[in-house]
Structure formats: C-alpha cells, structure tokens
Amino acid sequence: MNGSELVPLRGGWSRPVPLLAALALFAVLPAVLAGFDRGYLYQIANLSLIFVLLSASMHLVTGVAGLLHLGHAAFYGVGAYTAALLSSKLGLGFTATLPLSGLTAALVAFLVALPTMRLVSIYFAVATLAIGQMLYLVMLNWVELTKGPNGIIVTKGLELFGFSLSGRLPTYYTVAVVVALCVVAIGRLSHSYYGNTLRSIREDDQCADAMGVRTVRLKMEAFTLSAFFAGVAGSLWAHMTGYISPGDFKFSESILILAMVVVGGLGSLPGAVIGALLLILLPEGLRGLGDFRNIMVGLVMFLSILLLPKGLFGEVSALDFARRQWGAAWRRTRGGEGIGWR
C-alpha cells in the first residue's frame, strides 16, 4: 500500500465533553473555594494537583515501562530540597528553582540508575527501595545542609520572572498550569511510538531487545524523566507550602503514589490522575468519620483492586480514549478506525 492512504484521525472536538468538563471544573473550582473562603480547601486543591503530577510521573516508569519503583517520593524530596536550598541560600525565585529542581532530581536519578538498571523485577524494586531510604536519610541526617528533622522554611512564594503569584488564587492557577503542562508532556511520551517501545520492555524485555529496542537505555530514560517530573512537583510543593521537612518524602509517600497508579490502572495516564484525586480527596472528605476514615480508605482501595484489577480506568480504554479525544492516531482510510500514534 502507499502512505497517502493514511489519514490523521480528527479528534478533540468530535467528543469534547469530558475534556471541557475537566477544564471547566479546574477553572471554576477556585470560585467555589472562594465562596467557602477557607485556605484549607485551597491547600487540598493544590495538594491534589501535586499528587496528580507525582502519580503521572510514576505512571511513566511503573505503568508504562513496567519498572516497580518504590522510592519515587525521594526524588520528589530531592526536588523540594533543591528548591528550598536554592531559594534560602542563593535567593533564587520559583522561576529558576522549578527547572533546576527537576534537573537535579533527574541527575540524581541518572546517577543511581547507572548501576541499578540492569537489575530486573523484584531486585530492581528492592534497589529503588534502598535508594529512596538513602535519600530520605540524607535529608534527615545532613543537618548542616537540610536542617534535619526541623525542616526548611521557604520564604519565597510562587512567582514568574519576579511577578508575584503568591496569593491564593494565583498560586492555585500556577500549580494547575505547571501540572497540566507536565501531564501533557507525560501524555505525549506515553501515547507515542516511544511509549510503545517502553511498553514492550514491560511486556517482555528480551523480546523487545531482539526487535532492536535499546532496553537499558530506554529504562534509564523512563526512570530519569519520571524523577524530573517528581522534582518539578517538589519545587511546587516547597514554594507553595513554605515549609518542607523529611517526613513529606518518606517511604509511605512512595507507597501512596504507587497505590494511586495501581488503583487508577497500571499503564493508564487518566487512571493515574483519577487515582491521585481519589486517594487525596477521599481521606479529606471522610474527615468527619474521625478514626474510621483510614479504615474506609483502605477498604476502598482493597475493593477497587479486588473488583477492578485493571484499575478504575484501564490501559486499553485509556489508550483508546487518548486516540479519540486528542486525535492522536492515524487511520488507514477516511472513516476507518483510529490506530497507531501521530
């Protein structure tokens, strides 16, 4: 056949409802929160967005590339501490610390990945567990640099090239825009032929190797990229809350992010987003239950895995959704099924 038969699938506006609804929700949300006039709700909204980014970044390495990563929160911490230290010691603002936090986390991830990337399955998981613990202990015990368990106060709020964005509403929109841009980037990476080669490593890395896929290099890339986005989330967190301490980045946070990815659906980006929103908003919504709320959260997670092992929004439907929603596919003939990536 010749290539002229390939027609891009026109998407986006053909089924705009879910996307527009989501955009409207995020844009209108501040107005609703302003109605309650409580900083607490803003904190929850911002925290959800940051965990959406953490969950999406872990989706790339664990969901798509299939590497069980048990130390993700540590790279979030590396990003947050980079932002806090650059801002308190060198006086840098958010505009500079945002990319630098991402790059520092990515650099640390690259260095620790060099010796660990050849490990497979459970051995890799244990190695990332150890890396996470090491980074956490550095944050906790290198008192001269990190002030240890006392944490660091970050006086500079969000800003863009000196223009302050530190009010409640500007902070929310800044966090939302940064997170949205990062999620779009992660979407491009996972919904592409590049993403397909990462998936092939998850499915059968020896077989992928025989197809010419540079498996070790791609695993390094997925690991490093996910750390970059976690570092960006860390910078957002540091400037948004104004105070960070090692407890924010301990092992249980890594497990929480992993749970978000799994509950939402391994390999599914929309699933990772939904999982993050669920596991942040549900415990907050259940505060009225007092001590029972953690049991309820556990029960919801347990039941969702039991009844929907492929997640709330499984990979197959997620890929189909991405192709239709964003027209991210070629189709063979006009009117044909949208397939492949574009």
Partner 1 sequence: MTHLLEINRVSRRFGGVLAVNDVSGHVDEGELIGLIGPNGAGKTTLFNLISGFTPLSGGTVTFAGATVNGLKPNQVARLGISRTFQNLRVFPNMSVFDNVSVGAAGMRPQGVLGALFGGLTPGGSARADEISRRTWDALDAVGLTHLAGELAANLPYGQRKYLEIARALAMQPRFLILDEPAAGLNDTETRALADFIKRLHGRGLTIMLVEHDMTLVMGICQRIMVLASGRKIADGTPDTIRRDPAVLEAYLGVDA
Q: Does 211 bind partner 1 (CB under 8 A)?
A: yes
The answer to whether the beta carbons of residues 269 and 257 sit under 8 Å apart is no
Q: Count residues binding partner 1 (CB under 8 A).
A: 39
Q: Does 332 bind partner 1 (CB under 8 A)?
A: yes
> How buried is residue 87: exposed, middle or buried, by Cβ count under 10 Å (0-12/13-18/19+)?
buried
Q: Does 324 bind partner 1 (CB under 8 A)?
A: no
219/221 Cα distance (integer angstroms): 5
The answer to whether the beta carbons of residues 339 and 6 sit under 8 Å apart is no
For partner 1, which residue of 47, 225, 261, 322 counts as binding (CB under 8 A)?
Answer: 225
**Of residues 52-81, those binding partner 1 (CB under 8 A):** none
Q: Does 315 bind partner 1 (CB under 8 A)?
A: yes
For partner 1, which residue of 213, 296, 308, 312 counts as binding (CB under 8 A)?
Answer: 213
For partner 1, which residue of 23, 143, 207, 289 counts as binding (CB under 8 A)?
Answer: 207
Q: Does 221 bind partner 1 (CB under 8 A)?
A: yes
Task: Write out the DSSP string of 271-315.
Answer: HHHHHHHHHHHHHHHTGGGGGGHHHHHHHHHHHHHHH-TT-TT-H
**Of residues 252-281, those binding partner 1 (CB under 8 A):** 267
Q: Does 330 bind partner 1 (CB under 8 A)?
A: yes
Q: Which residues pair with 339 in a beta bridge?
A: 330
Q: Which two tokens stand for residue 155?
A: 């006086």
Q: Does 125 bind partner 1 (CB under 8 A)?
A: no
Helix (H) or strand (E) holding 258: helix 251-264
Which chain residues interact with partner 1 by CB under 8 A? 1, 3, 6, 185, 188-189, 192-197, 199-200, 203-204, 206-215, 221, 225, 267, 315-316, 319, 330, 332, 337, 339-342
